[in-house]
């Protein structure tokens, strides 16, 4: 039976087994490869997406459990790379190979939506489940602080609320920050 889920503001109907991981659906069924596979066991954070705004490991999340919910992936964070976390990541030049970075960005943006000015220890706690084999942790922390500063200088909320207008823009210009598919 088809499962209804809203992904990046767009209603989707997917006819897949109910226990299929959300990550599989995103990458293999919908062709959205910005979300990465790392471990498949909730140990690395590469597959992080937002479910109703909360950072979640999509590799262990059955698609049936997100029926009727809102999923945001790296492709949906903003229509034009304007999200403060994306801008900060570019300014600080965080990525090396890039493979972990879409997961890092999704965890950071979820943190900032709940805590717009986190301390070093709060950043470390929120990001500790996201592993970077290139060791970009210092730049990640700096970029989270930078994103907090960019946010406080703007009137826009961190929390995502994708409208129909942004959905059209997303269709035209997918945003992906991360390594090779
Ligand atoms: S692939 Fe999901 S946490 Fe590693
Ligand atoms: S940038 Fe290479 S794994 Fe994080």
* CATH code of residue 69: 3.10.20.30
114 and 139 part of one domain:
yes
Q: 89 lies in which domain range?
A: 84-172
Burial class of residue 63 (count of CB atoms within 10 Å of its CB; 0-12, 13-18, 19+): buried
Among all bound ligands, the one having the nearest atom to the CA of 177 is 2
Residue 136 CA to ligand 2 center (angstroms) comes to 7
94 and 147 part of one domain:
yes
pTM: 0.87
- Is residue 38 lining ligand 1, measured as CB closer than 6 Å? yes
Last residue of a domain, one of 56, 75, 94: 75
- Nearest CA among 172, 163, 180, 173 for reference residue 6: 163
Q: What is the dihedral of CA 159, 160, 163, 166, to 10 degrees?
A: 130
Q: What percent of the chain has pLDDT over 90?
A: 81
134 and 68 part of one domain:
no
Residue 132 CA to ligand 2 center (angstroms) comes to 5
Q: What does the block give as tokens for 22?
A: 């959300």
Q: Summarize pLDDT for 67-104 with one digit per residue, the tens.
A: 999 999 999 999 898 999 999 999 999 999 999 999 99
Provide the number of structural domains found in the chain. 2
């Amino acid at each position: 039976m088809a499962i209804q889920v809203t992904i990046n503001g767009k209603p989707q109907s997917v006819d897949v087994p109910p226990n299929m991981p959300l990550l599989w659906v995103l990458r293999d069924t919908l062709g959205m490869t910005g979300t990465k596979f790392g471990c498949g066991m909730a140990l690395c954070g590469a597959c992080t997406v937002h479910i109703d705004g909360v950072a979640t490991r999509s590799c262990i999340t059955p698609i049936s459990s997100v029926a009727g919910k809102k999923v945001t992936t790296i492709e949906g964070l903003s229509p034009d790379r304007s999200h403060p976390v994306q801008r900060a990541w570019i300014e600080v030049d965080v990525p090396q190979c890039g493979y972990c970075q879409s997961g890092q960005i999704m965890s950071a943006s979820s943190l900032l939506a709940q805590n717009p000015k986190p301390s070093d220890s709060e950043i470390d706690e929120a990001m500790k489940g996201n592993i970077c084999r290139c060791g970009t942790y210092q730049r990640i922390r700096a970029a989270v602080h930078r994103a907090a500063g960019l946010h406080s200088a703007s009137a826009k909320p961190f929390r995502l609320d994708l409208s129909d207008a942004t959905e059209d823009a997303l269709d035209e210009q997918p945003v992906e920050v991360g390594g090779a598919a």
